[in-house]
A and B are shown apart, each in its own frame.
Chain A
Amino acid sequence: MTTQEAFYNYIVRLGDDSLILGQRISEWCGHGPILEEDIALTNIALDLIGQTNNLYELAVSIENKGKNIDQLAFLRLEKEYSNLLLVEQPNVDFGYTIVRQFFFDVYRKLVFESLCNSTDERLAGIAEKSLKETKYHLKHSSEWVIRLGDGTEESHRRVQEAVNTLWKFTDELFYQDEVDQNVIELGLGVDNSIFKATWNTHVEQVLTEATLTIPTNSWQHTGGRKGIHTEHFGYLLSEMQYMQRAYPNMEW
Chain B
Amino acid sequence: MSSKEWPLWEVFIRSKQGLSHKHVGSLRAADAQMAIDNARDVYTRRSEGISIWVIESKLVTASDPDESAEFFEPSESKIYRHPTFYNVPDGISHM
> Do A and B come together as binding partners?
yes
List residues of A whose CB falls within 8 A of some B CB. Answer: 34-37, 39-40, 43, 136, 139-140, 143, 147
Write the nearest CB–CB distance from A55 to chain B, whole angstroms.
22
B34 at the interface (CB under 8 A from A): yes
Query: In the assembled complex, which residues on chain A have CB atoms less than 8 Å from the CB atom of B29?
Result: 36
In the complex with contacts A36-B42, A39-B42, A43-B45, A139-B37 CB distance below 8 A: yes
- Tell me which residues across on chain B come within 8 A of A147, comparing CB atoms: 30, 34
Interface string of B24-38 (1 = CB under 8 A from A): 000111100110011
Shortest Cβ gap from B31 to chain A (Å): 8
Q: What are 17 contact pairs spanning A and B, CB under 8 A?
A: A34-B28, A35-B27, A35-B42, A36-B27, A36-B28, A36-B42, A39-B38, A39-B41, A39-B42, A40-B38, A40-B41, A43-B45, A136-B40, A140-B37, A143-B33, A143-B37, A147-B30
Cβ–Cβ < 8 Å partners of B41 in chain A:
36, 39-40, 43
B9 nearest in chain A by CB position: A36
Contacts between the two chains (Cβ within 8 Å), count: 29
| Interface range, B side | 10 to 19
Given pairs A37-B38, A39-B42, 8 additional interface contacts (CB within 8 A): A35-B28, A36-B28, A36-B38, A39-B45, A40-B38, A139-B37, A143-B34, A143-B37
Shortest CB–CB separation between residue A179 and chain B, in angstroms? 35
Instruction: List residues of B whose CB falls within 8 A of some A CB.
Output: 6, 27-30, 33-34, 37-38, 40-42, 45
Closest 8 CB pairs of A and B: A36-B38, A40-B41, A39-B41, A43-B41, A36-B27, A39-B42, A36-B42, A34-B28
Q: When chains A and B are docked, how far (Å) is the Cα of A74 from the Cα of B47?
A: 30
| CA A143 to CA B29, docked complex, whole Å | 13
CA A157 – CA B28 in complex, angstroms? 25
Identify the closest chain B residue to A139 (Cβ): B37
Q: How far is the CB of A38 from chain B (nearest CB, A)?
A: 9
Query: Which B residues lie within 8 Å of A43 (CB)?
Result: 41, 45
Q: For A139, what are the chain B residues with a Cβ–Cβ distance below 8 Å?
A: 37
Cα–Cα distance between A36 and B40 once the two chains are bound (Å): 10
**Cα separation A147 to B40 with both chains bound (whole Å):** 19
In the assembly, what is the distance between CA of A36 and CA of B37, in Å?
Answer: 9
Contact between B37 and A40, CB atoms less than 8 A apart: yes
